Each structure stands twice: as C-alpha cells, then as structure tokens.
Copies of this chain bind each other. A is one copy, B any other.
Amino acid sequence: MSKEITSRAADYSQWYNDLVIKGELADYSAVRGCMVIKPYGFALWENMRDALDKMFKDTGHVNAYFPLFVPKSLFEAEEKNAEGFAKECAIVTHYRLIADPSQKGKLMVDPEAKLEEELVIRPTSEAIIWSTYKNWIQSYRDLPILINQWANVVRWEMRTRLFLRTAEFLWQEGHTAHATRAEAIKETEKMLDVYADFAENWMALPVIKGIKTANERFAGAEDTYCIEALMQDGKALQAGTSHFLGQNFAKAFDVKFSDKENKLEYVWATSWGVSTRLVGALVMAHSDDQGLILPPRIAPFQVVIVPIYKGDDQKALVGKKAMEIIGQLKALGIRVKYDDNDNARPGWKFAEYEMKGVPVRLALGARDLEKNEIEVARRDTKEKRVLSMEGIAVYVNGLLTEIQSAMYDKAKNYRDEHITAADNWDDFVKLLDDKGGFISAHWDGSPETEEAIKDKTKATIRCIPLRNKEEEGKCILTGKPSSQRVLFARAY
C-alpha cells in the first residue's frame, strides 16, 4: 500500500485529515488557519463551482466583483451584522513596509503609513455591496438586482480544520435586491432549492431543508434558511444557507427606491452562500477506510485506466488499445486519465486511485488484449468485473450514472436511519451519545432553552424543517408545551 490512513473506527477525525492530505485535496500552509488547495482538490472545487454557477445563471443571476476591503465605518453600519463578525475580523491598518533599521535584511511596518480608516477584510460582503447598491437603485425599474460573487473571505476562527473551518475560504455569495418582501422571500427559498438540488444531484448528499432558530440565524438576517447534511460519525453539517435580510441592510445604508406610485420605499434583500466547506462535507459523507469516494458528476477524473505490461512492446500495444477506449469515453463526455507512468507499479496505482476516489478504474493488460477483455472496478462497492471490450464505453457511462445514484441512496439510507424521535430527556441524551444523527424532539421555542440544551449536550437545533408537521407535545428539557418537533444534532 502506498499510504496508510487511519480507520474511521480508530480515530474519525484523524481519518478525515488523512483523506484530505493523502488524497491530495489540500495541504497545511505557513499561515495560521489557512490551507493550500492542491490541484486535485481544486479540480473538484472547480467542478462544483461550474455546476453551481450554471444553476445560478439559469435562474437569472449574473456575476460581479466587489472589493476585498470593507472600510470600518461601512462595516459597522448594520449593527447586528457587525456585532456578529467583529470578533473574527482580519484588519488592515498599514499600507507599507520599510527596512528595519535594527535588523539587516528584515522589514518592518512603516509607522508613517497608517491608514486613516482601518479596512476589514470581508468576512461576508453585505456591507460593501449594499453601500454600492445605494448608487445603483433609484426606481422600481432598477429592481430586482440578482448578483452573485465568487470570492475569498476571511473569518479569524480560533479552531480551524481543513476545508471545514479555515480562516480564509473560497465561496460564492449571492446578494439580491427586491421591490417587495414577498419577492425577496421567494428568492431566498428558490436559492435554498438550488442548493438542495446541487447537494443531492451533484454531490450525492441528501439534505434536509429548514429554517434556523433565532440563536443560529445569520447576523443581520430576519430568517436564515439552511440545508443540513449528516456525516458518517453522526454529526450534522450545515451545507448552505440562504438569508432573508428584510430591509435591515437597506435601512443601514439608506437604500430606497421609488415604486410605481412614486412612493419611496426601502429595498428588500437576500443573501445566500456555499463555500469550500462543501468539499469537507463530501469527503466525510462518502469516503471509507481505503480513501476518498467521489461522486462521478463532480470527480476530477471519472475513470482511470491503468495499463499492465512488461517491456516497451507490450506497453505500446496496450497503450494503443487504451487510446481507442479513451477516445470512446471522451466522445461520451467522460473525464478520463491514463496513467502509464513507469515509476510506479499497477498495484501501487490501484491503491493510489482508490485513495483518490476515482469512481471507475479500468485495468488493461497484454493478456486482456488477446481475449478482448478489460477489468472494470467500481470504487464505491469495490466490485470488480471482467468484461468484453465491445461496448465498454457505453457500459462505463451507465456505470457512472449507477454509482452516482447508489452513492446518494447509501447516504440517504444512513441519514434516514439516523433521524430518531426522542420524547424524554434521558432518551434524548442517550441517543445523542450512543447513536448520534438528528434527534427529532419537542422544544418550547425559547432561545434560553435552546442554549441550556446546548450547554448540557453540545447539541444545537439544526433546523425547523420546511413544511414541518404540527404536533402537540412537551419540550424535551422544560416540559413546556410545544407545537412541533425540531431537529437537534451535534454539528461541525
């Protein structure tokens, strides 16, 4: 075996780190809390980004780019938003370095080059964007504005983990402006649907759509909608959020429009985002103790062909046949890699591509040529079959579809088996400790109770599911009356 990885049973957290590092998705960097996204991980992110970008454009959105910096006076304008992010802001205070007179060859911050106003590196862009929208919006004719931005943001987190929580991360943030409350809410819900569609149909990741409680709401939002996924250790992960911002930012930045009756109104807003955190979710939802398992629709390579040969003559013969098959696969739009690197043996390559989660591996040897056969191995089930080369591309194409849907079904079965109702406190705590997953339980609706439950168990309310069933019951902690169950879980 090329690289050892820790098993999930031995140390789940180390298993995750091993996959990310040894699967070559990312690496630690010299900067505290920041990671390097390696080419293989970035290719995965590019596929995710491109699929999402197309979905945004298909729903009428356009891309733009706003500054990295938010002047402090703009940052603090929407008070709740500012309060929510102030604790974790990277702040630019100076704009020049000079030679350090006390240390040859070293530089120091030039005290003469202090900014008049400090600049916050965007942790999110509502402030800089709404200060701009003020100049773009006068009349109802200027609405709606449906803009998305792909960008890096910085949140100075104290505890970081590759992809899941990094000081700098890549994301997209949609920021829309609307003439009516109803239209803005519709947009918020539409983008939640887009995220759920992407998670389920591209990432093979089943998600629950819901609304956050006040405690878990985005700072500055009236309502935060979310999609919640479940990882293999029974912990939940927030995979995307879509915020109805009401008129909070319009009021903070004085953005009004004249409606058809020429009356001045504040503009309604939404914002919504997903980030490179999704890569972490993908890794944790599907992979196994041999390595990554990537869904075909977003895998950088969907198929790898490993040739097996002795000597240059066989290599040439096998290579020729491989090129033929590659041509057929590419004609079907399949992303394929041919690895005829002489520096590694087939067994090493098999383990390497298992580690990297390539959905389908084809092994093609000199003897196979004679029999017109080829070995097909699928990564998710590790099933191997020897098949005729006749029609192999069409077979592989169908197999990729099958893998995509099998991965989703497997994750969904696991998720569904891990939504458990609890009707009293002891069961609730026991379920959290022994089984994990989502616990469906009654809650009295108060932030204080939610906070108390979190303090006692580390579980939070992940969401109040959309179209939740009304049901009379008693709060799991306080026994006070409740009209619906909500989903609790420990979470990333």
Contacts and interface: CB of A to CB of B under 8 A. Distances in A.
A74 B29 CA distance: 12
Nearest to A91: B94
A66 B29 contact: yes
A69 B109 contact: no
Contact of A93 (B39, B94, B135, B152): B94
A93 B94 CA distance: 8
Interface string A145-168: 001000110101000000000001
B128 A69 contact: no
A65 B120 CA distance: 22
Interface string A170-202: 100000000000000000000000000000000
B97 A120 contact: yes
A416 interface: no
A56 B339 CA distance: 21
B68 A34 contact: yes
A48 to B, nearest CB: 13
A475 to B, nearest CB: 34
Contacts of A96: 86-89, 91, 156
A69 B42 CA distance: 19
A170 to B, nearest CB: 7
Interface in A47-70: 62-70
A79 interface: yes
Nearest to A151: B152
Interface in A86-118: 86-99, 105-107, 109, 118
A153 to B, nearest CB: 10
A371 to B, nearest CB: 34
Contacts of A64: 36-39, 41-42
Interface string A65-88: 111111110111001001000111
A46 interface: yes
B105 A79 contact: yes
A91 B95 contact: yes
A124 to B, nearest CB: 14
A69 B30 CA distance: 9
A251 B119 CA distance: 35
A286 B75 CA distance: 39
Interface centre among A82, A90, A136 (most CB of B within 10 A): A90
Size class of A's contact patch? 35 or more
A63 B43 contact: yes
Contacts of A35: 67
Contacts of A42: 62-65
A143 to B, nearest CB: 13
Interface in A446-474: none
A74 B30 contact: yes
Contacts of A299: none
A345 to B, nearest CB: 14
Contacts of A31: 67, 69-71, 119, 128
B90 A156 contact: no
A105 B90 CA distance: 20
A92 B92 contact: yes
Interface string A9-33: 0000000000000000001011100
Interface of A: 27, 29-31, 34-39, 41-43, 46, 62-72, 74-76, 79, 82, 86-99, 105-107, 109, 118-121, 128, 131-132, 135-136, 141, 147, 151-152, 154, 156, 168, 170, 343
Given A42-B63, A87-B97, 9 more contacts: A29-B67, A30-B67, A30-B132, A39-B62, A42-B65, A92-B93, A93-B94, A96-B156, A141-B343
**10 A-B pairs with the lowest CB-CB distances in the bound complex, closest first:** A39-B62, A34-B67, A86-B97, A37-B65, A95-B156, A91-B94, A31-B67, A93-B93, A31-B69, A76-B107
